[in-house]
Amino acid sequence: MSLNASEVQAIRRDFPILSRMMNGRPLGYLDNAATTQKPISVIERLNTFYREQYATVHRGVYTLSQNSTWECDEVRKKCQKFLNARQAEEIIFVRGVTEGINLIAAGYARKFLKAGDEIVISEIEHHANIVPWQRVCEEKGTVLKVIPVNDRGEISLEEYKKILSSRTKIISVAHISNALGTIHPIREMIRLGHNAGAVVVIDGAQGAAHQRTDVQELDCDFYCFSGHKIYGPTGVGVLYGKRELLEKMDPYQFGGEMIERVTFEKTTFAKPPLKFEAGTPAIAQIVGLGPALDYVEKIGFEKIAAYEKELLTEATKKISQVKGVRIIGQASEKAAIISFVMEDVHPHDIGTIVDQSGVAIRTGHHCAQPAMRRFGIPATARASFTFYNLKEEIDVLIGALHHVYEVLK
């Protein structure tokens, strides 16, 4: 079952920014893969917390501090439920997916990998899922192996199987490609990775906001997502890790709160999750993440996925019909992300002209330069949709693209 028109309009009223004008036109926000807008429930929760409830956590016996601690603990439990983790201690608060992957690279890979071991990623990963592994390879003498994608932007499981071996120790892939929208076959990839004896990391930056994610059903070893891509605040994210792995890992950062005991001779560390949460956390942002998760749960992932598929289908059809336009990445399993180029027109020029119609799209390499090189292009324009977008906004985008062609061709 999908969202109907009246439900979408009701949702839009929950997002104050969607009612504003941009360049004299109604705002059509189509850059949701980069970051999402915030519902009033998140905005008001942050406002109330800062005005009436703010205090540091874990370190005070006074009521205000204890209440802040309780609020953060409740959000941790909410994240556990959201991902269906086995226990709240498997939920680590980080700044976002970038920090989550760096934590795994520093705390697990640097500790357990040795020269000759292999790390496997795909050809269309975000830089945040490439560079940390490159650094590990440089430091440890490990080898980075890359799964190729076909012209549709899809991973071949047969090619993936050829790469796997007894030397494969870590596999790290996106749930959904931010550059192309490809939904990777992660269930099968996880299963095959485990059969090879590897630990599997899933970058859920694009996945968690658009699909029901059950880490126990997936059986991934790590999964991370960013709050700002799921209608929550910036500066907060979640890293899920299996408890037995978190117990073995070294801390990523050192300082207050992540310790059990400090002397000048020796320091012992707290148990997860505090072991990986050095310093004062992003308290308000953690609290604000709670109502964001509540919001998507209230709508329901089944409705979200169905409606976003409708948007993807209609937008793909109409964008394909614009003269001079070519869509990059047309996987059979795809999220509501469309990357495209226009013949002899730079994507930045597309974005600038489209903006004059009030439509916000992304242009550039989307922090995925190897993916761009795979398709022989420097950059794309990218429209990305979510449940508060209107089908009418697709038509405004199409009209703007026709105008781009007329002006620049």
- CATH number, domain of 153, equals 3.40.640.10
Same domain, 289 and 308: no
Note whether 251 and 323 are same-domain residues: no
Q: Check whether residue 365 and residue 249 sit in a common domain.
A: no
Share of the chain above pLDDT 90, in %: 96
**280 and 376 share a domain?**
no
- Grade residue 122 by pLDDT with cuts at 50, 70 and 90: very high
Q: How confident is the model at residue 59 (pLDDT cuts 50, 70, 90)?
A: confident
Tell me the average pLDDT of the chain: 97
Claim to verify: residue 129 and residue 278 sit in the same structural domain: yes
Residue range 329-364, pLDDT digits in tens: 999 999 999 999 999 999 999 999 999 999 999 999
Residue 383 sits at φ, ψ, to 5 deg, of -110, 130
**Whether 195 and 264 share a structural domain:** yes
| Range 97-113 average pLDDT | 98
Please choose, from the candidates 38, 10, 9, 36, the residue with its C-alpha nearest in 3D space to the C-alpha of residue 390.
Answer: 9
Residues 25 and 82 in one domain: no
Q: Which CATH number is 346's domain given?
A: 3.90.1150.10
Asked if residue 39 is part of any domain, the answer here is no
Q: What is the mean pLDDT of residues 155-175?
A: 97
- pLDDT, position 394: 98
The answer to whether residues 293 and 313 belong to one domain is no
Q: Please say if the pLDDT value at position 405 is more than 90.
A: no
Establish if 105 belongs to a structural domain. yes
Convert the pLDDT of each residue in 166-179 to its tens digit. 999 999 999 999 99
Same domain, 83 and 202: yes
Catalytic site residue from 72, 79, 224, 367: 367
SS3 for 330? Answer: coil
Q: Please identify, among 270, 297, 324, the residue that sits at the C-terminal boundary of a domain.
A: 297
pLDDT at 396 over 90: yes
Range of the domain at 172: 44-297
Give the residue-averaged pLDDT of 14-36: 97
Q: What's the rounded mean pLDDT across residues 121-135?
A: 98
Domain count, the chain: 2
Residue 407: the pLDDT is: 87
Instruction: Decide if 37 is inside a domain.
Output: no
Q: What is the pLDDT of residue 257?
A: 86
Domain boundary (277, 297, 317) is at 297
Is 38 inside a domain boundary?
A: no
> How do residues 64-85 score in pLDDT, each as one tens digit?
999 999 999 999 999 999 999 9
- Domain presence at residue 373: yes
Residue 56 pLDDT: 94
Tell me whether residue 79 is one of the annotated catalytic residues.
no
Q: Is the pLDDT of residue 409 over 90?
A: no
Give the pLDDT confidence score for residue 342 in this predicted structure: 96
Residue that terminates a domain, selected from 297, 329, 360: 297
Tell me if 377 is assigned to some domain: yes
At 253 the pLDDT is 93
Q: Is 36 among the domain residues? A: no
Same domain, 197 and 275: yes
Q: Kindly state whether residues 331 and 384 are assigned to the same domain.
A: yes
In this structure, is residue 123 part of a structural domain? Answer: yes
> Which amino acid does the sequence have at 154?
E
Q: Are residues 216 and 354 in the same domain?
A: no
Sign of the C-alpha dihedral computed for residues 173, 175, 181 and 184 taken in this order = positive
Between the CA of residue 196 and those of 76, 118, 161, 192, 246, what are the distances in Å? 32, 12, 9, 6, 21
DSSP string, 88-118: GGGEEEESSHHHHHHHHIIIIIHHH--TT-E
Residue 115 has φ and ψ, to the nearest 5°, of -55, 135
